[in-house]
Amino acid sequence: MRNSANYTSAAIPAKNGGGVSYDGRSVTINGQHRILFSGSIHYPRSTPQCQMWPSLISKAKEGGLDVIQTYVFWNLHEPRQGQFDFSGRADIVRFIKEIHAQGLYVTLRIGPFIESEWTYGGLPFWLHDVPGIVFRSDNQPFKDHMQKFAAKIVSMMKSENLYASQGGPIILSQIENEYQTIESDFGDKGPSYVRWAAAMAVRLQTGVPWLMCKQDDAPDPVINTCNGYRCGQTFKGPNSPNKPSVWTENWTSFLQVYGNETKKRSAQDIAFHHGGTNFGRTAAAFVTTSYYDEAPIDEYGLIRQPKWGHLKELHATIKSCSQTLLTAVQQTFSLGQHQKSF
């Protein structure tokens, strides 16, 4: 869980047949510009047993969130080629329906490479045995398997009417994950893979916008987004004036590696720039089994103060002036030779 008030108005479901779009100001839902606060809850890092999923979602909502985002864990769902598992902690449909029942939206980060400090970045180990495969490249064997899995997840969501275009809670989807950090390693196969992944995702026709995080050159109409500690300072911004600024991750802490010093952020620092657990052998190499325990809601589902309360107040304050923020026209005034006012 990352960046996690109690508002009287719950999220408004998008109308059947559409309702989610975007422009240079924000994402729009049913034609209304929205400032949306989201937080991550990864369904395999928690459990539906003992009402843990409903409890986590409820606490996130009370903290002022509008959206729950989650990755989709390919190697969890297809541990052996062609053999799928969507039961127990892998029951993603049940998880999304619980989010919907509590009046929140969903961002579905399909990947299918997700990193997420998860074993093999979410890729199934059996991919190694595919002849001629090169992961995350303009490589036909990899693209075939990636497209097959992405299409399966989208088809599953559609069959359950979970996209906002069908009246469901999913308002955004993500393809790939932080690819730009390694793109140059693939030479000319990198940029062509990005273009292919974006086009492939759009062809799946979810009826909601697609995202690519840490991908400055995300092809239209896919939105480029920021992950990081201080996106307000480091994010180059949307790569088109017609796209909104989106931060998919505002890191409340950082992954813990065995033997390394624990990294923490104060509530004030998170707000100014404005958890989970790895079960079994699902953690990436060297990563501790306790994942993002410094988040506003920790791995046990407990509220962590002062982060949770401080962010709750921040969310409420911004929401109180959201209409002005989303409709006003920015103007710049000179206050002297070296000063400006906005």
**Cα end-to-end distance, the chain, whole Å:** 34
* Residue in the structure block whose two tokens are 């505002």: 250
78 in catalytic set:
no
Q: Among 155, 316, 176, 156, which residue's Cα sits nearest to residue 248?
A: 176
Catalytic one of 183, 249, 294, 299: 249
CA distance linking residue 171 with residue 13, whole number of Å: 9
What is the rounded CA–CA span in Å between residue 193 and residue 137?
6
In this structure, the strands spanning 247-250 and 20-22 are unpaired
- What DSSP string describes 259-318? TSPPPB--HHHHHHT---B--TT-BPTTB-SB-STTSSB-TTS-B-TTHHHHHHHHHHHH
Residue of 78, 117, 178, 183 with catalytic role: 178
Helices (H), ranges, the chain? 52-62, 74-77, 92-101, 140-159, 189-203, 231-234, 267-272, 307-320, 322-327
Query: 52, 116, 114, 96: which is closest to 299 by C-alpha?
Result: 52
Query: Do the Cβ atoms of 52 and 88 come closer than 8 Å?
Result: no
Active site residue 249: yes
Q: Determine the length of the chain.
A: 342
Active site residues: 178, 249
